[in-house]
Amino acid sequence: MNSLYNKIKPYLRTILIDHLVNKSLVIIPTYNEKENIERLIHTIFSLPGHLNILIVDDGSPDGTAFLVKGLQTPYADRLFILERAGKLGLGTAYILGFKWAIERQYDFVFEMDADFSHNPADLLVLQQACMNGADLVIGSRYKSGVNVVNWPMGRVLMSYFASVYVRWVTGMKIYDTTSGFKCYRRKVLEAIELDNIRFKGYAFQIEMKFTAWKLGFRIEEIPIIFTDRSEGTSKMSGGIFNEALWGVLRMKIRSILRPYKKAVQV
Ligand SMILES: Nc1nc2c(ncn2[C@@H]2O[C@H](COP(=O)(O)OP(=O)(O)O)[C@@H](O)[C@H]2O)c(=O)[nH]1
Ligand SMILES: [Mg+2]
C-alpha cells in the first residue's frame, strides 16, 4: 500500500481536483475471474478520486457475476454490471461497455483486465496523461524495452513481434499495439463507429487504436509493467491470434478503400 501511495503521490492534487469535475469509468470484461474480481474492485475503489467500475460478465460459470453483485451494496452508485448469457468475446463486451459509458456521459473511460496484469495504480497515471491533453493513452509494455513479468518466453516473443508486425503493416507509431490497458476521452469513443468494429480478441485492441489514429486523435503511450496473472487461467486462444494476423491485413486494405473521415483537424 505504501508503494502504491508513493506512485500516485505526484498526481494526488490534480487528481482530487479533476475528480470533482470529471467522471471516470473503468470497464472490466470478465469470464471466470472469481479469484481476482473482489480484490480488484476493492483495490480500485481504494485509489484516490472517484473512479466508477463497470463489469461486463459473460455468464461466467464460476459465479463471478454473483460476487460482483454482492459488492454492489457497499459500493452502491459506483459499481455496475452488465451480464450477457454466454462467452461472446472481449471485443463485443467492451463495445457494450463503451455505449453504456457514452450514454452516461463519462469523461474518461478505461479498458482493464480483471487479472491484475494491469496495476490499478497505473489507472491514475493514464488518466493524468489524458488530462494533460492526450485523447487516448495506452499503457505500454514495449515503449521502453520489454516490461512483461512472468510470461513464458514464447508468449513474450509472440506478443512483441505481433506488435512489430502491426506497426509495419499499419504504419502506426505505436509500440504496444495489442495493449488492453487504456484510457479514452469520451469524444474518441463517440467518434468511432462502434458498430463497425469487427474484431473480438487482440485484433479488437489493434482496431480501436488504428481507428482512433486514422481519425486524427492524439495518442500517447505510457510505459507500464505488465505482470501475468497469478490467479485463474488465460482465456485467449489460437483462433484469436489468427484473427489478429489476417485481420490486420484486411483492416489495412479496407482503410485504403474506405478512407476515414478525420474527427480532428490537424
Ligand atoms: N466478458 C468477457 N470477458 C472476457 C472474455 N475473454 C476474456 N475475457 C476477460 O478479458 C480479460 C483478458 O483475458 P485473459 O484471459 O487475461 O487474457 P490474456 O491476459 O491475454 O491471457 C480478462 O479480464 C478476462 O476475464 C469474453 O469472452 N468475455
Ligand atoms: Mg490476462
- Tell me the per-residue pLDDT of 176-219, one tens digit each, with 9 for 90 and over: 999 999 999 999 999 999 999 988 888 899 999 999 999 999 99
Cut 0.85: pTM above it:
yes
Nearest bound ligand to CA 34? 1
Looking at the DSSP bridge assignments, the partners of residue 145 are none
What per-residue confidence (pLDDT) applies to 201? 80
What per-residue confidence (pLDDT) applies to 101? 98
Hey, whose CA ends up nearest to atom 14 of ligand 1?
234
Q: Write out the DSSP string of 19-79.
A: HHH--EEEEEEESS-TTTHHHHHHHHHTSSS-EEEEEEE---TT-HHHHHHHHTTTTTTTE
Q: Is the pLDDT of residue 266 over 60?
A: no
Hey, whose CA ends up nearest to atom 11 of ligand 1?
113
Which domains, from first to last, does the chain contain?
2-257 (3.90.550.10)
Q: How confident is the model at residue 260 (pLDDT cuts 50, 70, 90)?
A: confident
Which residues approach ligand 1 with their CB closer than 6 A?
Answer: 29-31, 33, 56-58, 87-90, 93, 113-115, 117, 229, 234-236
CA torsion, ordered 169, 171, 174, 175, to nearest 10 deg: 50
Cα-Cα-Cα-Cα dihedral sign, residues 105, 36, 174, 259: negative
